[in-house]
Chain A
Amino acid sequence: MGKIYVANRQLVKPGDLLAEGSDIKAGDYTYREDDKIYSSILGLSEVDNKQVSVIPLEGTPLPKEGDIVIGLIIGVGITNWVVDIKGPYKAILNANEALESFNPITDDLRKYLDIGDYIVAKIIVFDRTRNPMLTIKGKGLGKITEGIVIDVKPSRVPRIIGKKKTMLNVLTEMTGCNIIVGQNGRIWIRCPDKKLEKIVVKAIRKIEAEAHIPGLTERIKKFIEEEKRRLEV
Chain B
Amino acid sequence: MSEEKPKLINEEGLRVDGRRPDELRPLRMEVGVLKNADGSALVAFGNTKVIAAVYGPREIHPRHLTLPDRAIIRCRYHMAPFSTSDRKSPAPSRREIELSKVVREALEATIFTELYPRTTIDVFIEVLQADGGTRTAGLTAAALAVADAGIPMRDLVAAVAVGKVDGVLVLDINEIEDEYGEADMPVAMMPSLDKVVLLQLNGVLTPEEFKEAFKLAKKGIMEIYKMQKEALFRKYRILPQA
Please list the residues of chain A having a beta carbon within 8 angstroms of any beta carbon in chain B: 11, 13-17, 29, 31, 33, 38, 40-42, 56-60, 62, 88-90, 128-129, 155, 206, 209-210, 212-213, 219, 223
Measured between beta carbons, the chain B residues less than 8 angstroms from A59 are: 38, 149-152
Known: A56-B150, A57-B150, A210-B242. A13 touches B229 (CB 8 A): yes
From A41, A42, A88, B58 is in contact (CB under 8 Å) with A88
Whether B153 lies near A58 (C-beta < 8 A) is: no
Whether B152 lies near A33 (C-beta < 8 A) is: no
Whether A15 lies near B192 (C-beta < 8 A) is: yes
State how many angstroms separate the Cβ of B226 from the closest Cβ of chain A: 11
**B interface size (C-beta, 8 A):** 35
From A58, A128, A206, A209, B150 is in contact (CB under 8 Å) with A58
A-B contact pairs, 29 of them (CB 8 A): A11-B236, A13-B147, A14-B110, A14-B152, A14-B153, A14-B156, A33-B154, A38-B192, A40-B112, A40-B152, A40-B153, A41-B147, A41-B151, A42-B147, A57-B150, A57-B236, A58-B38, A59-B149, A59-B150, A59-B152, A62-B115, A88-B56, A88-B58, A88-B59, A89-B119, A90-B59, A129-B68, A212-B236, A213-B242
| Bound-complex Cα distance A231 to B74 (A) | 49
Q: Is B91 an interface residue (CB 8 A)?
A: no
Measured between beta carbons, the chain A residues less than 8 angstroms from B232 are: 13, 42
| Bound-complex Cα distance A85 to B17 (A) | 53
Whether A128 lies near B117 (C-beta < 8 A) is: yes
Measured between beta carbons, the chain B residues less than 8 angstroms from A38 are: 154-155, 192-193
| Bound-complex Cα distance A229 to B39 (A) | 38
Whether A58 lies near B148 (C-beta < 8 A) is: yes
Please list the residues of chain B having a beta carbon within 8 angstroms of any beta carbon in chain A: 38-39, 56-59, 68, 110, 112, 115-119, 147-156, 190-193, 229, 232-233, 236, 239, 241-242
From A41, A155, A213, B152 is in contact (CB under 8 Å) with A41
Measured between beta carbons, the chain A residues less than 8 angstroms from B148 are: 42, 58
Give the one of A29, A42, A219 with max B CB within 10 A: A42
| Bound-complex Cα distance A99 to B153 (A) | 42
Known: A88-B119, A129-B117, A210-B242. A41 touches B150 (CB 8 A): yes
Whether A14 lies near B117 (C-beta < 8 A) is: no
Measured between beta carbons, the chain A residues less than 8 angstroms from B152 are: 14, 29, 40-41, 59
Measured between beta carbons, the chain A residues less than 8 angstroms from B147 are: 13-14, 41-42
Give the one of A14, A56, A155 with max B CB within 10 A: A14
Measured between beta carbons, the chain B residues less than 8 angstroms from A206 are: 242
State how many angstroms separate the Cβ of A49 from the closest Cβ of chain B: 24
| Bound-complex Cα distance A60 to B38 (A) | 10
| Bound-complex Cα distance A22 to B115 (A) | 24
State how many angstroms separate the Cβ of A71 from the closest Cβ of chain B: 16
State how many angstroms separate the Cβ of A219 from the closest Cβ of chain B: 5
Nearest CB in chain B to that of A220: its residue: B242
Give the one of B117, B149, B152, B229 with max A CB within 10 A: B152
Measured between beta carbons, the chain B residues less than 8 angstroms from A40 are: 112, 152-154
| Bound-complex Cα distance A219 to B153 (A) | 33
Measured between beta carbons, the chain A residues less than 8 angstroms from B156 are: 13-15
From A15, A29, A57, A209, B154 is in contact (CB under 8 Å) with A15
Measured between beta carbons, the chain B residues less than 8 angstroms from A89 are: 59, 118-119
| Bound-complex Cα distance A16 to B210 (A) | 29
List the 9 closest A-B pairs by CB distance, nearest first.
Answer: A59-B150, A15-B155, A58-B150, A15-B192, A40-B152, A88-B57, A88-B119, A14-B153, A219-B242
